[in-house]
Structure 1
Amino acid sequence: MADAALRLKGLLEQLLGAPLPVRIRAWDGSQAGPPGAPTLFVRNRRAVRRLLWKPGELGLARAWVAGDLDIEGDFYGALDLLSGLVWESGEGGRTNLQILRDPQARAAVLGLVRLGGPGLPPSPPREEIRRPRRGLHSRRSDKRAVSHHYDVGNDFYEIVLGPSMVYSCAYWPGPDATLETAQHDKLDLVCRKLDLREGQRLLDVGCGWGSMAVHAAREYGVRVVGITLSQEQAAYARKRVADEGLTDRIEIRVQDYRDVTDGPYDAISSIGMAEHVGAEKYLEYAEALYGLLAPGGRLLNHQIARRPLLDETSYDLDGFIDAYVFPDGELAPVGTTVTQLERAGFEVRDVESIREHYALTLRQWVANLERQWERAARLAGPGRARVWRLYMAACALGFERNHLGVNQVLAVRTPESGTSGMPLRARTWN
């Protein structure tokens, strides 16, 4: 009788010391677990070997990206249930050494070895980036990391992001609004916070596919320099600018923010870019932007935040995100971001949390991807499409559960006179 699912369920529960909240369907057709629960489809024995050789999140991710594991039923529900399980070291978990010292857990590992079959550790999927950790956040390593994430293909991103081609949190007037409306409202919110006026110069750091640059130039009459490290983004943005008839107002450059020398600018927008800067380089980033602003100029820094830790020295990069999505990306608590901006000389005037807005945005991106799954998989490859589906759905849950935040920080290069140019009543842009 086929029984791989029952054996796998029992061994995992023995190892984890907790009931498995999802149903298991195994390669031999057997099933076990709570009826009606989301189902984890273990397609082959290689999936078990991946978990044994790399226990925890990264092993699960490798099995998922390679197609050795799948989820049937409620995708978000399954991720939510699985996120509560702890195998390897972590908050509330046990180290691998502690597991091996536990006779019951050690027996479960041996049972999984027998179930997974003999063999060397499976090779990581080709979508996993492998590079030395030396030279972190150098110009070269940042360009390579940005290329890994953004040079997946503009056609693929058109599927995920929709016509707006905005790859950051939208600003929703309500949950029933369209993604296009919400992204338009976000771009306009940024422009109003920056108090953009005709003839001013705007630097858009991490300009992506040119959405902010086009909106600011078309709607507010400013002259824009947009910078990105992605060749594909720059090519797309330049064509978009030409199609809009805005080549006299917008310049798109492939350029590192550290190499911009043609200030001063009246305003700077940095939307979803600072996550790539890194903790060690963040003050340098803030000082560079401060130096590029004219006195009285404003910076709008739109950035994802993590929750602070009791011991900040214990912060580690997320294994899946670092290996498959944002290599070298680092998140900081919003308080750290504000402190670094102030250390650079900025006067921080407003911090707005829009956490719930990102959950809505990510769910819409996932829905876009799922609606055109076959085309997306052809364009980017099945593994890459699976990476994006898992990453965006998991992040949506992270924002919904308040594990992640996103904030717009408005800061001013206040002149020595102390005249900031800010209105007496804050948030007149709402």
Structure 2
Amino acid sequence: MVRGPGVAPRLAGMLGIVLGTDRIPVRLRAWDGSEAGSPGAPVIEIRSRRTLRRLLWSPGQLGLSRAYVAGELDLPGDLFATVAALTATGRLTEPVPLTARERWRLLRSAAALGALGPEPAPPPEEVHLAGIGGRHSKARDAAAVSHHYDLGNDFYAVVLGPSMVYSCAVWDDPSGGLEAAQAAKHDLVCRKLGLRSGMRVLDVGCGWGAFALHAARHHEVDVVGVTLSPEQATLGRERVRAAGLAERIDIRVQDYRDVDDGPFDAVSSIGMSEHVGDDQIDGYASHLHGLLRPGARLLNHAIARRTGDPRRAGEARQDPSTFMARYVFPDTEVLSLTRTIGALEAGGLEILDVEALRLHYPLTLRAWAQRLEEHWSEAVRLVGEGRARTWRLYLVAAAWTFESGRQGVNQVLVQRPGGTPPPLARPWRTPADR
């Protein structure tokens, strides 16, 4: 189990305490070259005693993540396999406070390795929203969105590819490639919304304008797209002008709560409602209902929790000690499908269709992760190594989340009552799927 003398066996014991196991499911390599752990398992390299100090102060997912982002810990092999191995015990995915005995053992091992000291400052990539207003206030939502989306359009082009679509694709054929899968998703949304020439469409959380461009180009509709990211809006407008569609598409930096120029013939919300929050989701549904013409449809495409009791207060709130909350999506709240449908119905909207796309998201995330690896040097140049490492870990961890079934993603199609009645069949499906 150990190659030569060194510090690795004691490090393995510390990692075992954090993971809640006597036999760690990885191969651990220490800064002195010694090794311990399971032979042939994915490798973790601990490069610095600062990693141990981080684990003392934040024993679990957050401490390990901070060390990885800071480059004090590395995962040199197949990152997908390493994440799967580390999460096998469940201690990192469902944080459990250490017992007093476990904390004492961790402290004693760190002292023996000369790792005691004050808590290291978090890497600068960690977000801090305190003092910017209440949770899901307009100011704080704008700051949370800016943290994630205003990294520079060139970086997003590296990860997302030419389509610049940042939501789950629909993979009719996994070998068809990312661009085809994103186009298939947009076409499916357009069919579900029943878009026809001359309609006026609101795209909530429009990103870089990809859906607006698809809908205007292929269905001859007029689109208002709103985003809280100035960088997204800037590039979105450039893409609209380049496509010759400036008369059909209006992209605004605007909170959806401030949109007051309805009515619209359709509303798309693709990968946006995760930012709304449990306390705000009822108002979200009610406001969008008010922007729809009678008989018009709304499509809500969103990630959904697959565990927990949706009636439990605050069940959607992120654990503040998680990597996603501190580094990736601050203040997001992933609701259960039950909660989302309940809010839409309470808002006066009629459910027409629900489609689960969970199996499509790992394919999308793996495609983005592959692009990041293929353009790693460029990504580091654009956003720095810490941010690039954040994204590498985020994409891999997110893919595992969907592959393991912990979360799903769903398209919920609803209609405002009145006007044209809903169809008897599902005309947006292909004949084989009806």
Measured against the shorter chain, the TM-score band is: over 0.9
SS at match of 1:414: coil
SS at match of 2:168: coil
**1:317 correspondence with 2:321:** no
**1:124 correspondence with 2:122:** yes
- Distance, in Å, in 2 between the alignment partners of 1:113 and 1:375 is 40
- Distance, in Å, in 1 between the alignment partners of 2:219 and 2:314 is 45
Where in structure 2 are the equivalents of 1:14-413 lying within 5 Å? Answer: 16-85=20-89, 91=94, 94-96=96-98, 99-100=99-100, 102=101, 106-132=104-130, 135-310=134-309, 312-313=312-313, 315=315, 316-318=317-319, 319-413=322-416
Cα distance, 1:117–1:211 mapped onto 2, change above 3 Å: same
Tell me if structure 2 keeps the 8 A contact 1:23–1:31: yes
**1:429 correspondence with 2:429:** yes
Cα distance, 1:247–1:306 mapped onto 2, change above 3 Å: same
**1:13 correspondence with 2:23:** no
Amino acid at match of 1:340: A
- Distance, in Å, in 2 between the alignment partners of 1:34 and 1:80 is 15
Q: Deviations over 1:325-357 (max 9, x none)?
A: 111000011011000000000001100001000
SS at match of 1:287: helix
Cα distance, 1:280–1:66 mapped onto 2, change above 3 Å: same
Tell me if structure 2 keeps the 8 A contact 1:56–1:86: no
Tell me if structure 1 keeps the 8 A contact 2:14–2:109: yes
Offset, 1:142? 0.6
**CA RMSD between the two structures:** 1.7
SS at match of 1:72: coil
So what's the TM-score if we normalise by structure 2? 0.93
Runs of 4+ in 1 over 6 A off after TM superposition: none
- Distance, in Å, in 2 between the alignment partners of 1:171 and 1:11 is 42
- Distance, in Å, in 1 between the alignment partners of 2:278 and 2:11 is 41
Cα distance, 1:174–1:280 mapped onto 2, change above 3 Å: same
- Distance, in Å, in 1 between the alignment partners of 2:96 and 2:249 is 54
Tell me if structure 2 keeps the 8 A contact 1:11–1:108: yes
Tell me if structure 1 keeps the 8 A contact 2:353–2:414: yes
Offset, 1:313? 3.2
Aligned positions, number: 421
- Distance, in Å, in 1 between the alignment partners of 2:417 and 2:329 is 34
Amino acid at match of 1:375: E
SS at match of 2:280: helix
- Distance, in Å, in 2 between the alignment partners of 1:138 and 1:313 is 19
Tell me if structure 2 keeps the 8 A contact 1:52–1:113: no
- Distance, in Å, in 2 between the alignment partners of 1:409 and 1:116 is 55
- Distance, in Å, in 2 between the alignment partners of 1:189 and 1:271 is 12
- Distance, in Å, in 2 between the alignment partners of 1:255 and 1:135 is 19
Cα distance, 1:224–1:164 mapped onto 2, change above 3 Å: same
- Distance, in Å, in 2 between the alignment partners of 1:314 and 1:321 is 17
Amino acid at match of 2:181: A
Amino acid at match of 1:55: P
- Distance, in Å, in 2 between the alignment partners of 1:307 and 1:20 is 28
SS at match of 1:269: strand
Offset, 1:378? 1.0
- Distance, in Å, in 2 between the alignment partners of 1:190 and 1:111 is 55
Tell me if structure 2 keeps the 8 A contact 1:46–1:116: no
Offset, 1:427? 5.2
- Distance, in Å, in 2 between the alignment partners of 1:131 and 1:253 is 24
Q: Deviations over 1:188-244 (max 9, x none)?
A: 100010000000000000000000000000000000000001000000000000000
Tell me if structure 2 keeps the 8 A contact 1:2–1:28: no
Amino acid at match of 1:172: W
Listed as ranges, the gaps of 5+ residues in structure 1 are: none
- Distance, in Å, in 1 between the alignment partners of 2:172 and 2:345 is 31
Q: Deviations over 1:344-388 (max 9, x none)?
A: 000011000010000100000000000010110110111111111
Tell me if structure 1 keeps the 8 A contact 2:129–2:143: no
Offset, 1:279? 0.5
Cα distance, 1:305–1:3 mapped onto 2, change above 3 Å: same
Q: Deviations over 1:111-131 (max 9, x none)?
A: 123325232110000000112
So what's the TM-score if we normalise by structure 1? 0.94
- Distance, in Å, in 2 between the alignment partners of 1:105 and 1:65 is 24
Offset, 1:108? 3.9
Tell me if structure 1 keeps the 8 A contact 2:110–2:116: no
Offset, 1:429? 2.8
Q: Deviations over 1:73-102 (max 9, x none)?
A: 2211110111134558x85x7533xx21x3
Cα distance, 1:82–1:195 mapped onto 2, change above 3 Å: same
Identity over aligned pairs, percent: 52
Offset, 1:33? 1.7
Q: Deviations over 1:265-300 (max 9, x none)?
A: 000000000000000011111111100000000001
- Distance, in Å, in 2 between the alignment partners of 1:95 and 1:326 is 23
